[in-house]
Amino acid sequence: MNTASAAAPVSLREMWLISAGHMLTHWYPATFYLLLPLIGRELDLSYTEIGFIMTAMHGVGALMSMPGGMLVDMVGKKGGLMALSLFWIGVPYALLSMTHSYWMVLLCVSLVGIGNNLWHPAAIATLAHRYPTRKGFVLSLHGMGGNVGEAVAPLVAGMLLATLSWRSVVVINIVPGIIMAGLILLFLGAFTVDRNRSEAHAPRHLGAYLKNFGDLFRNRSLMLISTATGLRTLTQSGLLTFLPVYLAYEMNYSPFAVGVCMAVLQLGGFIAAPIGGHFSDKLGRKRIIMGGMTVTGITIVGMALAAKTPWFVVFVALVGFFLYAMRPALQAWAMDATPKNMGGSTVGLQFTFSAVGSAIAPAICGMIADAYNIYTAFYFLAGTIVFANVMMLLMPKETLRSAATTATN
């Protein structure tokens, strides 16, 4: 019976629905990145103050990632948690329409940071357990959903801003998230609870769970992967925050033109994600991650050097391609290195490091840009991704072998 069950085809419905939900979780911040220059001008903010807006959001996210992962493993209602996450992300952005002070903006984006970090532990753990031999590929498709959201949202927002104020845009933006939250509750609300509990054998007692959770911090492989993930996300967060500001302030692009450039960045990531995920399953995680990090650092430097030339957009696309190619490999590698019953907590821990990187980058880049110039901030980001690459050399060999053979088991 087990053999027949193993041979039965696995439905991809859950993967497509969860990936569509992931698109919406990235749609909101992608729109907000486009609005940042407008908010900055209206409130007369410095680069540092703009950076601290994103630092507040990701800082709260860093505090909530591990509790979110623990909640996923303890409660198990992954469909409900994903729906709650979508709702919680969208509503605070809509509240921005009523803000007229810098401190109220900080409060609203901090609330976003709470909801955003419920999504990934629930979604990634569900996908990893549902498709155990294709983690890299399936997680890359999940990542592609985020890339679609981040690519399409700036274009839509740019067109809306041609006729509407940014305050009207954030209100309109909440509608698709509410619809998607309802669909996830309808199709995944009960299904994922039972399926994941039976497959993952989640610990039901607090004492047993806390012991397993403590073991995660002693897992050298997971800690190195998570640190590298944080540095990669630091680079990504710095770019997403200050690339639109640079295009608007330094190059005087219109909101629609800024949206096009941000869409190009995400288009590169959209193309790269399934390629990186697939080859990480076949060739091993390390090769994909180290190659992606090396070329990302080079292309960020090329982007800064090509400023105000036609080559700039080309380098933006290349940065997106290589920066996002390694993301599913890092996520799959973390799942390879830890027990199935701790999937949500593994993702929560990994995304804590990711959120810390996201929180640090905007503040540091803003201070660098105010003290020197925005090009120096881009050079700093290139250096961080190179340092992350060096950390991958410290990975234990036994984890590399298990990651490379996951697809064949």
Percent of the chain with pLDDT over 90: 2
Token readout for 95 is: 């509240």
Average pLDDT of the residues in 116-127: 78
94 neighbors 174 (Cβ within 8 angstroms): yes
Rounded CA separation 83/184 (Å): 6
Within-domain flag for 63: yes
Domain count, the chain: 1
Rounded CA separation 301/312 (Å): 11
* Type and span of the H or E element at 11: none
Within-domain flag for 65: yes
Token readout for 276 is: 């990186």
Specify the pTM. 0.66
- The pLDDT mean for the chain works out to 78
The set of residues, in sequence order, having a beta carbon less than 8 Å from that of 189 and lying 6+ positions away, is 77, 79, 80, 83
The pLDDT value recorded for residue 408 is: 39
Within-domain flag for 344: yes
The pLDDT value recorded for residue 128 is: 76
161 neighbors 41 (Cβ within 8 angstroms): no
* Of 66, 73, 185, the residue nearest 122 (C-alpha): 73
Q: Which of 60-64, 291-295, 353-357 has the lowest mean pLDDT?
A: 60-64
Average pLDDT of the residues in 224-249: 87
The pLDDT value recorded for residue 367 is: 92
Q: Which domain holds residue 334?
A: 11-408
Residue 157 has pLDDT above 80, yes or no: yes
The pLDDT value recorded for residue 397 is: 56
* DSSP structural state of residue 131: S
Within-domain flag for 1: no
Residue 261 has pLDDT above 60, yes or no: yes
The set of residues, in sequence order, having a beta carbon less than 8 Å from that of 3 and lying 6+ positions away, is none
160 neighbors 170 (Cβ within 8 angstroms): no
Rounded CA separation 403/91 (Å): 39
DSSP states of 151-180: HHHHHHHHHHTTTS-HHHHHHHTHHHHHHH
Rounded CA separation 242/226 (Å): 24
User: pLDDT, tens digit, for every residue of 374-393?
Assistant: 888 888 988 888 888 777 77
Residue 243 has pLDDT above 60, yes or no: yes
Within-domain flag for 3: no
3-state helix, strand, coil in the chain (%, to 5): 90, 0, 10
User: pLDDT, tens digit, for every residue of 265-315?
Assistant: 877 777 877 788 778 777 778 888 888 888 888 888 888 788 777 788 788
- pLDDT classification of 396: cutoffs 50, 70, 90: low
The pLDDT value recorded for residue 283 is: 76
Rounded CA separation 137/142 (Å): 9
235 neighbors 319 (Cβ within 8 angstroms): no
Residue 76 has pLDDT above 70, yes or no: no
Average pLDDT of the residues in 135-148: 78
- pLDDT classification of 77: cutoffs 50, 70, 90: low
The pLDDT value recorded for residue 364 is: 92
User: pLDDT, tens digit, for every residue of 161-213?
Assistant: 888 888 888 888 888 888 888 888 877 765 444 444 444 444 456 667 677 77
For residue 337, the domain's CATH number is 1.20.1250.20
The pLDDT value recorded for residue 409 is: 38
Burial 47-64 (b: 16+ CB within 10 A, else e): bbbbbbbbbbbbbbbbbb
